[in-house]
Structure 1
Amino acid sequence: MTPEEEDINRQPVVEMEISSLQLTGSPRLAGADMVHVEAMAAVQQELPPILVHRATMRVIDGAHRVRAALRRGETTIAGRFFEGPEDEAFVLSVWLNVAHGLPLALADRKHAAERIAVTHPQWSDRRVAAVTGISPGTVADIRRRVAGASAPESSRIGQDGRVRPLDCSAGRLLAGQLMTENPHLSLRQVAKAASISPETARDVRNRLLSGAELVPSRRGRDAGQRTAEGAGPDRQPLNLVRSIGRQEPVIDRAVVIKRLMSDPALRYTDTGRNLLRLLSLHSHWANEWETIVDNVPAHCTGVVADLARQFAELWADFATRVPEHRLAS
């Protein structure tokens, strides 16, 4: 469970009159999926609480649940209130509908990214991408296309909440100087001293080793950024997409997990929700493994590696026992 979900779940659950709720303003351009509504209406268990923006009474998360409750003939529904501004309520609505539940269509996510790029111009492409479930490159294209979505010239706020400069030229040059003068400095030490990210520091190191310019040209800026994210010439990122047998590709995990999240048999049971949280956690952070690996404190590496191995063994045992349990039942 993410910190945002924990904050939401700490809010008290109250009974709300369905007639007082607003179902407008949803990030779903095509409106409700009535097949999904019927599936939820048929579920015997009580549906999870919805989330409502108190100031406008607009449903942030749970519009399908509201329609399912109406289909059952109910007049009230359990829910929690969100107290923030409308722009934040929309961001939360998009993020929750991307993270779980019936997945938003690609057109919905792109349209949401356009709105967020305008209302949150200080956010980095990665941060908008994390909320909307599209790639940072697509967000960058949207930002360039949408009028009025230009960000502050000097810096943006990243996914981790840190403020980083848009132009890292000076930081790159300083990092190159530090690495040349003291090659034993770690990437984290160089990044901190030069006020750049560890990924950018890694790119500077790769460029030093290859003899390339420390500051990528404008034409090669996109390729340089991809290198800075962990795909440098002397190091390949962790391979999280593997093949089975004769180069048969594995189905996109994110797509599979989103489909599972729309399954009422999983979403509306405690054990099902716990399983979905575990699966979505891995999917959500799949693109961040390189950064996580490089930022494990040296004094914790042994313990973290041991825990990772233990959890890997648990998942392997789980993968073995699930088919056995299905056959036995």
Structure 2
Amino acid sequence: MEPWEAEVSQQPVVEVEIGSLSLSGSPRLAGERAEHIQSLAAAQDPLPPITVHRPTMRVIDGFHRLKAAGLRGERTIAARFFDGDEAAAFVLAVQLNVTHGLPLALADRKRAAERIIVTHPLWSDRKVASVTGISPGTVGEIRKLVGRESEPARRRLGQDGRLRPVDGSVGRILAGGLLTANPDLSLRQVARAAGISPETARDVRNRLRNGEDLLPGQRRGKTAGRPDEQPASRKEFGPLVIAAPGGVRRRGEPAADRAVLLKRLKADPALRFTETGRSLLRLLALHSVRNEDWEAIISNVPPHCSDIVADLARQFADLWSEFAVRVKEDVAQIG
């Protein structure tokens, strides 16, 4: 239940002059249904209280009941007041008209979703869907058509009231690093630290155990586009540059080549069936994301964390560089 729903349910029922109420702003595009009004007017039972926006005296819920009371010749009607802003009043009107009484038509619900996306841009597709009674996928399509956001939101408010990133790649990579460094962490601890759900943390843990990519194929498909579709002003994150011993620098393998090599390593029984081998595969999988995913991670690093992240990245680069040298030396000594 949203805070404004609880607020309304706790309000006392009072008698309000029918002539003082406004019927503007209804989420019903086609207006009221005459037959429904007549059936309510003919009923002998008292009409349930309507909901009224106190600042504007607009009817939030109960258009048909108000008309029916007028047909009965009544001059007042039982009502509860709502004191929130107009955006919240519209959301409440939609939610109340979806969950009881004469349901809103599909066209009404889609139009309502469009308006709510504009007034509540941080709301997730699922949260908007829960209010309007349409599917999250339909809300996502409507969001694309609305196109009112000057800058796409990086985080959205879910049904549980928590803000989560739209692109979960950053959280998945961070969770992978946490689990690799400390496998004994609970899923809730990882989820809290990485800003993801416990279920996503569970998926990351399972992928690490299986030596799989931390980013699901579907998510990658959303971030990766054709090269000729990328904005011209965007700075591309090219092949990795690795510091080698003696100050010599060489370019790393392109992302596609790295993926092929990693896949070959995953198929090697000497790595798959030993604990140290699986640990190595998990570490390598952390760095096997595509260039587009690296771009998403870079652009989503909070400014106040950038210095720490950059310093850790340099330290890890040095560790990998030393690792590469020692691996080559050990092979040479064995040979």
The alignment's TM-score, normalised by the length of structure 2, stands at 0.61
Equivalent in the alignment of 1:105: 105
CA distance in 2, matches of 1:207, 1:41: 62
Answer yes or no: is the 8 Å Cα contact 1:121–1:151 preserved in 2.
Answer: no
State how 1:1-329 maps to structure 2 within 5 Å: 4-149=4-149, 152-216=152-216, 218=219, 220-221=221-222
1:63 Cα offset (Å): 0.5
Gaps of at least 5 residues in structure 1 are 223-329
Secondary structure at the residue paired with 1:212? coil
Gaps of at least 5 residues in structure 2 are 224-335
Secondary structure at the residue paired with 2:214? coil
Code of the residue aligned with 1:62 in structure 2: it is: G
Secondary structure at the residue paired with 1:116? helix
**Offset from partner CA, 1:21-70 (integer Å, 9 cap, x none):** 11121111111122222222222221111111122211000111101111
Pick which of 171-180 and 201-210 moved more.
201-210
1:3 Cα offset (Å): 5.7
Q: CA RMSD in A?
A: 2.3
Secondary structure at the residue paired with 1:51? strand
Pick which of 180-189 and 135-144 moved more.
180-189
Answer yes or no: is the 8 Å Cα contact 1:187–1:201 preserved in 2.
Answer: yes
Code of the residue aligned with 2:157 in structure 1: it is: I
CA distance in 2, matches of 1:35, 1:151: 46
Equivalent in the alignment of 2:270: none
CA distance in 1, matches of 2:206, 2:43: 55
Secondary structure at the residue paired with 2:95? helix
CA distance in 2, matches of 1:34, 1:143: 33
Equivalent in the alignment of 2:283: none
Answer yes or no: is the 8 Å Cα contact 1:60–1:89 preserved in 2.
Answer: yes
Equivalent in the alignment of 1:231: none
Percent identity at matched positions? 67
Code of the residue aligned with 1:213 in structure 2: it is: D
Code of the residue aligned with 2:160 in structure 1: it is: D
Secondary structure at the residue paired with 2:188? helix
Code of the residue aligned with 2:25 in structure 1: it is: G
Answer yes or no: is the 8 Å Cα contact 1:112–1:132 preserved in 2.
Answer: yes
Answer yes or no: is the 8 Å Cα contact 2:21–2:59 preserved in 1.
Answer: yes
1:151 and 1:127, CA in 2 relative to 1: closer, same or farther beyond 3 A? farther
1:71 Cα offset (Å): 1.7
Code of the residue aligned with 2:192 in structure 1: it is: K
Code of the residue aligned with 2:17 in structure 1: it is: E
**Offset from partner CA, 1:123-173 (integer Å, 9 cap, x none):** 111111111111111111111111314665321222222111223222101
Pick which of 201-210 and 169-178 moved more.
201-210
Answer yes or no: is the 8 Å Cα contact 1:16–1:77 preserved in 2.
Answer: yes
Equivalent in the alignment of 1:290: none
Answer yes or no: is the 8 Å Cα contact 2:4–2:84 preserved in 1.
Answer: no
**Offset from partner CA, 1:206-248 (integer Å, 9 cap, x none):** 43355432123555459xxxxxxxxxxxxxxxxxxxxxxxxxx
CA distance in 2, matches of 1:171, 1:147: 26
CA distance in 2, matches of 1:138, 1:149: 18
**Offset from partner CA, 1:72-131 (integer Å, 9 cap, x none):** 111110111111211111011001111222111111111100000011111111111111
Answer yes or no: is the 8 Å Cα contact 1:143–1:150 preserved in 2.
Answer: no
1:178 and 1:6, CA in 2 relative to 1: closer, same or farther beyond 3 A? same
1:158 and 1:150, CA in 2 relative to 1: closer, same or farther beyond 3 A? farther
Structure showing greater relative contact order (alpha-carbon pairs closer than 8 Å, 6 or more residues apart): 1
CA distance in 2, matches of 1:108, 1:177: 46
**Offset from partner CA, 1:171-214 (integer Å, 9 cap, x none):** 10121233344444332222012111223223323433554321
Question: Larger Rg: 1 or 2?
Answer: 2
